Amino acid sequence: MRIAAILEYDGSAFSGWQRQEQARSVQAAVEAALSKVADEPIHVTVAGRTDAGVHALAQALHFDTSAVRGEYSWVRGTNTHLPPDVALLWAAPVDEGFHARYSATGRHYHYIILNRPVRPTYLARRVTHEYRLLDVAPMQAAAKHLIGEHDFTSFRAVECQAKSPIRVLRGLEVQRHGEFVHIHAHANAFLHHMVRNLAGALMAIGAGEREPDWARQVLEARDRRAGGVTAAPDGLYLREIAYPDSFKLPRLSRDVGLW
């Protein structure tokens, strides 16, 4: 039986999604909890691996199991064995043709910047701090240069293992709400560090270091060295994974709740 599930987690204390020998990972915590409920080893496939410090509001995964459990038992039982910074929101049987990664049609990320002179306290690790005043108008103007299907080599990590740097950036919006600046990114898929590199470039433009047209120049360079600083993982949230309606996964996307 193939089971699909949706997770929420605070990535602050994790080395990232992927299992690692000497570091705490979300994958290891989730597989250990699911294995206890199933009473057999469980190995999961995730929609997209998140970096160290990155959070998820609705991360999707699937796994195959011979264990027969009700939807309530999967959720309630797994949460009993998960650490406080991870929660299983939903789980149910799906068609065997469903694949958490390859069936996805889109991914949504949300990046939050606390834009004030003083560093955060209770929001530390949940927002990125920028002490320089950011002007969102040139940031949004720059974002328009990046929308569409492009070679995003300049915005991916040097160690990115994706076979192709071509991605379709469907939306990139910058908004201010009081002391907070929000960046919403929507694409068919993202490269390693792509959202953080986009955010880093937009922040440089918002701070007046660069003009909006610089974003187009960086994109056309197809060289990571042209792209500037990689923004911190703090404040980055995987908000939603989109799938065809035929798979009947619930849409659990919601606002982060930080303004």
| pLDDT, tens only, 38-65 | 999 999 999 999 999 999 999 999 999 9
Q: In degrees rounded to 5, what are phi and psi of residue 206?
A: -65, -30
Q: Residues 8-28: what's their mean pLDDT?
A: 94
Residues of the chain with CATH 3.30.70.660: 106-238
**pTM exceeds 0.85:** yes
The predicted structure's pLDDT at residue 227: 86
Q: What is the pLDDT confidence band of residue 14, given thresholds at 50, 70 and 90?
A: very high
Give catalytic status of residue 135 as yes or no.
no
103-155 tens-digit pLDDT: 999 999 999 999 999 999 999 999 999 999 999 999 999 999 999 999 999 99
- What is the rounded radius of gyration, in angstroms, for the C-alpha atoms of the chain? 19
Q: Does domain 2-103 have CATH number 3.30.70.580?
A: yes
Q: Residue 148: left if φ>0, alpha if ψ -120 to 50, beta else—which one?
A: left
The predicted structure's pLDDT at residue 250: 84
The predicted structure's pLDDT at residue 255: 65
Q: Is residue 81's pLDDT more than 70?
A: yes
> Cα angle vertex 189, ends 186, 195, to 5°?
60
* Residue 8, both tokens: 């929420």
Residue with tokens 């960046």: 183
Catalytically annotated residue among 51, 95, 213, 245: 51
User: Options 3.40.50.720, 3.40.605.10, 3.40.50.300, 3.30.70.660; which CATH number does 106-238 get?
Assistant: 3.30.70.660
Instruction: Give the DSSP H or E segment for 29.
Output: helix 26-38
For the beta carbon of residue 13, count every other beta carbon within 10 angstroms.
13
Residues of the chain with CATH 3.30.70.580: 2-103
